[in-house]
Chain A
């Protein structure tokens, strides 16, 4: 494998890994936000009683 092919491969892997890191990172952040909301919602309904 020559240097050009190794660099091509590295850049392609980097693009795929970064894409998934961004997408999964965003979904994880959404999940945390959703969980915090559920907690807040439960607290609000408790305080109403």
Chain B
């Protein structure tokens, strides 16, 4: 039953991705000032949204781990697995943001990169979570999960700064598409539909790989616990 549900979800996600791509490339009209490169936004903006959401999941997992680690070991491991999965899949989406953004910028601004507040805070966010993953990969000892949880919490503090950066400071980055005041928002219904479908599609895709990453990490924890038990028994 579980396998059927996962397969159905995966098929629905692939259908959404295809539909989102079709909307972005063939249905949405060409924007008048940015022309075709504006279509990069249909992947860039949803990827940023999903990255923020998954860093939030990593934050909740990190807080959960610190809260449960002394008296609820199973819940602590579950929280830690969510924290790691959220951080890793968040980094994947954030990488997409940091590559598609400069590709658009090169055509729209004539430069690949500028040290404005939105771009710089996003790069800092990516660096913090990459350091989180490197810590998880290379550090050893009983305190690694605790240190990672603390880093995960501090890393998540950058998410609202990234989100607010082009509201608080004057930036070269375009104004907020959603929630940026009375003039923000997408006026063309076909463009709005393409945006919305791609947000739903990338969210569905993200949830699928997040769940897969969580399962892999839980399995890893079980293998590590079994090996530790075997070493004690030997």
A3-30 toward B: CB 8 Å interface, digit per residue (1/0)?
A: 0110111011011101100110011001
CB of B39 closer than 8 Å to a CB of A: yes
* A48 contacts across to B, CB distance below 8 A: 230
* A23 contacts across to B, CB distance below 8 A: 92, 96, 205, 209
B contacts with A: majority SS: helix
Closest partner residue, chain A, to B227 (CB atom): A44
Contact A8 B107 (CB under 8 A): yes
CB of B27 closer than 8 Å to a CB of A: no
Q: Knowing A11-B103, A15-B44, say if A44 contacts B219 (CB, 8 Å).
A: no
* A19 contacts across to B, CB distance below 8 A: 43, 47, 96, 99-100
Contact B96 A14 (CB under 8 A): no
Q: Knowing A26-B92, A41-B223, say if A15 contacts B230 (CB, 8 Å).
A: no
**CA gap between A47 and B233 in the complex, in Å:** 13
Partner of B103, one of A9, A14, A37: A14
Contact B219 A41 (CB under 8 A): yes
- Number of A residues, CB within 8 Å of B: 25
* A26 contacts across to B, CB distance below 8 A: 89, 92, 209
**CA gap between A15 and B103 in the complex, in Å:** 7
CB of B170 closer than 8 Å to a CB of A: no
Contact A11 B219 (CB under 8 A): no
* A14 contacts across to B, CB distance below 8 A: 103
Contact B92 A34 (CB under 8 A): no
Q: Knowing A14-B103, A44-B223, A48-B230, say if A30 contacts B212 (CB, 8 Å).
A: yes
- 15 CB < 8 A contacts A-B: A4-B35, A8-B35, A8-B36, A8-B107, A12-B37, A15-B40, A15-B44, A15-B103, A16-B43, A23-B96, A30-B216, A34-B215, A34-B216, A37-B216, A41-B223
Beyond the given pairs A18-B96, A22-B99, A26-B209, 13 more chain A to chain B contacts, judged by CB atoms under 8 angstroms and listed by A's residue number, are A4-B35, A8-B35, A12-B40, A15-B40, A18-B103, A22-B96, A26-B92, A27-B212, A30-B209, A30-B216, A37-B223, A44-B226, A48-B230
Binding site for A on B (CB under 8 A): 21, 35-37, 39-40, 43-44, 47, 89, 92, 95-96, 99-100, 103-104, 106-107, 205, 209, 212-213, 215-216, 219-220, 222-223, 226-227, 230
